[in-house]
Structure 1
Amino acid sequence: MRSLTFVCCLLVLVATAPQTATGQAASATTTAGGPDEPSIHAVYPDPVAGGDEGEFVVLSAPEGTDLGEYAVTDGDSTAAVPNTTASGRVVLSTAPNRTRRLTDRPVVGLDGHLGLANGGERIRLQHGNRTVDAVRYADPAEGELGVVNGSVVRWRPLGATDRPVVRAAGGEVRAFALPDAPATPLRPIRNATERVYLAGYTLSSDRVADALVAAQRRGATVRVLLEGDPVGSRTATEARTLDRLTDAGVSVRVVTGPRARYRYHHAKYAVADRQAVVLTENWKPAGTGGNSSRGWGVVTAQPRVVAGLNRTFQSDAGWQDNQRWSTYRRGRQFERGEPATGDYPTRFPAESVAVQRTDLLVTPDNAQRKLVTTIDDAEDSVDVVQPTVGDWDSPLLRALRRAGARGVEVRLLLSDAWYVREENTRTAERFREWAERNDAALTAKVADPDGRYEKIHAKGAVIDDERVVVGSLNWNEQAATENREVVVILHGSDAAAYFGAVFDADWAAGGFDTPVGVLAAVVGLLVVAGLAARRVSFEA
């Protein structure tokens, strides 16, 4: 229906014209024992510590396994497991006290010496003279855990999560766009009485700080987790905001240091009592303050989504790669920032919309894989809005081109912010040239804010007028495989209609454009119509 409407509009216009990665995979060989025997789940051969102190092997043990019958060997040295009964994952180490600071799983101290070579070697799990399991690893990176996955070892930062997609039953959510509805993402925080867990990249908004301090004074547990080293450095305004929160008793921590599991903590969400906010914007005046950026967001009370975000926050805030803001800021200098003071109209007020289901995704665990599948399943249309996109051959951009090549109408809207304008102009032109060469129904353009916002910072998509993607993920390989990001997929035509209207308005403001395939079809219709008109005129 949208394509038909688009063609009709075009005819009128003509007539009236003026990148975890979880690490590199190393070859592995595994000889598994029976189903009632333990197996090697992972190896950690190169800790971030002098002398590799704390290195370990992880076993996966069936219920009630007596580990005292087993030993671990590298062929040169052997370490026996003491008498202990275990179930599930258990960590074996010759330096158990050190290792307990690196993992929250049960740690068992080995009897004897075992050194895991940094250059790689073959580790065997022995039961008497019999090899129960064996794993060969190669080229580990410092501070990474090698997880056995079939015939390969996949390396990922120690402590990195491996979460499945969380699926929540339908209900009603609150959809909003920024800068139009800046009060909406703050309302759950302002109403919270029990807890507020706020995760972000940066936080410099007085409005957000006011809401957090007020929640703290009401007796709620308030915790904030941010990126320690944002691109371009932290501003003095943000430092003062975080000082104020700390002075008020709010727990503020930043992700930083050699044990950081993710390149950037870039997720943008909050858990407030039994509600959650997921959005594309930073907690600053330009974003949630409504003073600059086009953003998308959603407020939901779906229990599984709220619980999933709570688990993500607890995992990230509880790991060893973050520290108190008061400790981090000592001796640091902060940059002077330019305040965002824009004032924009409310054309898209927040709206409650029904959803059939909501999927909660996180990176690097599962989001890119799920988004690629979602695009590959598209049948009619894919509308994407991004500040900028990554490499031409990244999985998400390849998925967009596959969709356009099979006739799905693909539109990609990019930001015109001064720092990405030239790059995005080249990207849009490359997509259009590719579409022309391949007769694909795909086009891309750089947005024109037209006084409705300053720049695009939204990261989302509307697919088949039935699904909506909203979250912090920039569509590039680094963000998808190295950052902590949070994304939701809303299933339902009501949610798609809301965000689709926002996208259509922003697309239309960018000037006239159309996919090459559609344009060719319309030109054909015009030619046929012109010939028919000539014939009618002649016969008359």
Structure 2
Amino acid sequence: MRPPASLVCCLLALVVFSPVVAAVSAPSPQAVGSESIAAPVATAEAESAAIAAVYPDPIAGGDRGEFVILSVPAGTALGEYSLSDGDGTVSLPNATGSGRVVASTAPDHTRRLTDSRVVGVDGHLALANGGERIRLLRGERTVDAVRYSAATEGELGVVNGSVVRWRPLGATDRPVVSAPGGDVRAFVLPDAPGAALGPIRDADERVLLAGYTLSSPRVADALLDAQRRGATVRVLLEGEPVGERTAAEARTLDRLTDAGVQVRLISGPRARYSYHHAKYAVADDRAVVMTENWKPAGTGGNSSRGWGVVTAQPRIVDGLATTFHADAGWRDSAAWERYRQGRRFERGERATGAYPTEFRAESVTVRRTDLLVTPDNAQGELVAILDRANDSVDVIQPTVGDWDGPLLRALRRAASRGVEVRLLLSDAWYVREENRRTVERFRDWADRTDAPLSAKLADPEGRYEKIHAKGAVVDRERVVVGSLNWNEQAATTNREVLLVLHGPEAAAYFGEVFDADWAGGGGVGVPVGLATAVGGVIVVAGLAARRVRFEP
């Protein structure tokens, strides 16, 4: 069940098990899913087959279709091997294999779950949901063995040395992609609503648009124009956004599909991610990554403060295209025509605000750009960035998650070692009280620890309606821009996409925007950790005048 609310190219041919191949590398500290400690009962022989993953608990009656994935050297005689669960042993068929080979007692059913080669094995091999020790034998000798603990339905146990990591079948395990320096185009919303559409409007070969929702007629127009120019246009969205999908979005998606644009939505019981919340597009040899949805309130510039980047760095563009194809190619994505059958759509409120252009899009030079995705690698990388901060960390978020989440703990660690931290949260009506409590808790903590940390709610003053940006400026040297809300669920169960821009020019651009938004209508905030000393002076002076007044 999905929560009710709130990629390498050479591996794509495997579709389902591309993440399994990648998962042979050591797991990151912030790996997705639970882990089982696998006893080091045997070390796989050189040039021998080895156990790469187990799938004990399929979403099917009687666990039909469970399987073991083997990593097989080229030209391996499979018939020399067998698998044992302690109660029974099954032999692999007399055939030659290489790469990943999937062994199953129900091969026809298992083939529905993967495009990799599946071989049938005769006999009894039952992978216990509560835990099991599986041995791979060559003749009478054990060449590899894996012990796993309790499995979760629909999750794959990927072997990483002595550890088995559990995650949804088909989920990716992408590494961080880094690109050398160059120029990128930085922009913010609502100030520069044309920046996100520029690459799409120029595309004549391909447009791969990924988002949470898509209801903007301007975006639909740009996609259809690109298709008429001969570009291949594909769209991938979230199937179950929080609240109801609006009638306006349904009309937009109908219009696209009626014109032959492929629109798919991630949904259903086999969904690998709680939410497909990423917001990016690949258009020919350029890409845009942002914090905003493809709707009037976001990319239309009619409401939200958002951050975005356009880049032509080939590694980043290729990395985003690989991510798109991996996400759109799995069995949890459904065509819009099928998805919409029998569904009703609600009338939504349309954003119609008009705001001044205070910050124009600018070309800035970066030394390096990193592409991060969740749940694969982003949280661990962000924590490391915060833990390396020396001078300042400015964070803008609609709202943040649990007090003890890794990112918020990293913010407090930074402040504890003297880094000036500022946290700016949205004042939108639907998060105001929650954010106010968060601000008060950070302020109380800063007072108790004498840490240079400030937190406040935004005061837009007519420059935008609400904060929807999700970003950070660190040491005025690095910028984080992307779709990730800083909470544990989003970081560990959602598909999110972020860029980290290294270089003072990008930091200066977004830093200036942050400073203006921080000042808002209430002036420049004073670090709360300094409040005790400053407050003492104010109190003394105030008492002398018999007038003491504290602002919240």
In the superposition, the TM-score normalised over structure 1's length comes to 0.91
Q: Which residue of 2 aligns with 1:408?
A: 419
- Quick one: distance in 2 between partners of 1:62 and 1:444? 56
Q: Which residue of 2 aligns with 1:498?
A: 509
Cα deviation code 1:146-167 (max 9, x no counterpart): 1122333211000100000000
Please state whether the residue corresponding to 1:340 is helix, strand or coil. coil
Cα displacement (A) at 1:128: 1.8
Report the residue type matching 1:327 in the other structure: R
| Cα contact 2:452–2:529 (8 A) shared by 1 | yes
Cα displacement (A) at 1:79: 1.1
- Quick one: distance in 1 between partners of 2:53 and 2:32? 13
Cα displacement (A) at 1:87: 3.1
How do 1:431-446 and structure 2 match up within 5 A? 431-446=442-457
Q: Which residue of 1 aligns with 2:132?
A: 121
| Cα contact 1:21–1:482 (8 A) shared by 2 | no
How many pairs align?
Answer: 509
Cα displacement (A) at 1:76: 1.5
Cα deviation code 1:140-193 (max 9, x no counterpart): 111100112233321100010000000001100000000000001001101110
Cα displacement (A) at 1:133: 1.6
Cα deviation code 1:192-249 (max 9, x no counterpart): 1000000000000000000011111111100000000000110111111111111111
Report the residue type matching 2:38 in the other structure: A
User: Cα distance 1:403–1:510, how it changes in 2: closer, same or farther (>3 A)?
Assistant: farther
- Quick one: distance in 1 between partners of 2:177 and 2:36? 30
- Quick one: distance in 2 between partners of 1:182 and 1:466? 26
The yes-or-no answer on 1:75 pairing with 2:86 is yes
Which of 57, 67, 73 is the aligned partner of 1:46? Answer: 57
| Cα contact 2:31–2:377 (8 A) shared by 1 | no
Q: Which residue of 2 aligns with 1:34?
A: 45
Cα displacement (A) at 1:510: 5.2
Query: Unaligned stretches of 5+ in structure 1?
Result: 1-18, 528-540
Cα displacement (A) at 1:129: 1.8
- Quick one: distance in 2 between partners of 1:162 and 1:389? 25
Cα displacement (A) at 1:443: 1.1
Cα displacement (A) at 1:50: 2.5
Cα deviation code 1:38-86 (max 9, x no counterpart): 2211100111122322211011223433322110011222111122333
Q: Which residue of 1 aligns with 2:343?
A: 332
Q: Which residue of 2 aligns with 1:61?
A: 72
In the superposition, the TM-score normalised over structure 2's length comes to 0.89
Which of 156, 171, 177 is the aligned partner of 2:188? Answer: 177
Q: Which residue of 2 aligns with 1:22?
A: 32
Report the residue type matching 1:88 in the other structure: G
**Of 32-41 and 486-495, the range deviating more from structure 2:** 32-41
| Cα contact 1:174–1:353 (8 A) shared by 2 | yes
| Cα contact 1:22–1:157 (8 A) shared by 2 | no
Cα displacement (A) at 1:520: 5.7
Report the residue type matching 1:73 in the other structure: S
Report the residue type matching 2:526 in the other structure: T
How do 1:111-510 and structure 2 match up within 5 A? 111-509=122-520
Cα deviation code 1:273-323 (max 9, x no counterpart): 000000000000000000000000000000000000000000000000011
Q: Which residue of 1 aligns with 2:15?
A: none
**Of 31-40 and 495-504, the range deviating more from structure 2:** 31-40
Please state whether the residue corresponding to 1:219 is helix, strand or coil. coil
- Quick one: distance in 1 between partners of 2:44 and 2:510? 53
User: Cα distance 1:289–1:525, how it changes in 2: closer, same or farther (>3 A)?
Assistant: same
- Quick one: distance in 1 between partners of 2:529 and 2:437? 21
Please state whether the residue corresponding to 2:373 is helix, strand or coil. strand
- Quick one: distance in 2 between partners of 1:141 and 1:287? 37
| Cα contact 1:20–1:482 (8 A) shared by 2 | no
Query: Unaligned stretches of 5+ in structure 2?
Result: 1-28, 540-552
| Cα contact 1:174–1:298 (8 A) shared by 2 | yes
**Of 458-467 and 505-514, the range deviating more from structure 2:** 505-514
Identity percentage of aligned residues:
74
Cα displacement (A) at 1:118: 2.0
| Cα contact 2:30–2:379 (8 A) shared by 1 | no
Please state whether the residue corresponding to 2:99 is helix, strand or coil. strand
Please state whether the residue corresponding to 2:222 is helix, strand or coil. helix
- Quick one: distance in 2 between partners of 1:21 and 1:169? 26
- Quick one: distance in 1 between partners of 2:518 and 2:96? 62
Q: Which residue of 2 aligns with 1:12?
A: none
- Quick one: distance in 1 between partners of 2:458 and 2:486? 17
Please state whether the residue corresponding to 2:147 is helix, strand or coil. strand
Q: Which residue of 2 aligns with 1:87?
A: 98
Cα displacement (A) at 1:96: 2.1
Please state whether the residue corresponding to 1:185 is helix, strand or coil. coil
Q: Which residue of 2 aligns with 1:13?
A: none
Which of 521, 528, 541 is the aligned partner of 1:516? Answer: 528
Cα deviation code 1:334-363 (max 9, x no counterpart): 111000000000000100000000000000
Cα deviation code 1:109-131 (max 9, x no counterpart): 22333221222221111112222
**Of 511-520 and 222-231, the range deviating more from structure 2:** 511-520
The Cα RMSD (Å) is 1.8
Larger Rg computed on CA atoms: 1
Cα displacement (A) at 1:422: 0.4
Report the residue type matching 1:445 in the other structure: K
**Of 494-503 and 92-101, the range deviating more from structure 2:** 92-101
- Quick one: distance in 1 between partners of 2:538 and 2:181? 45
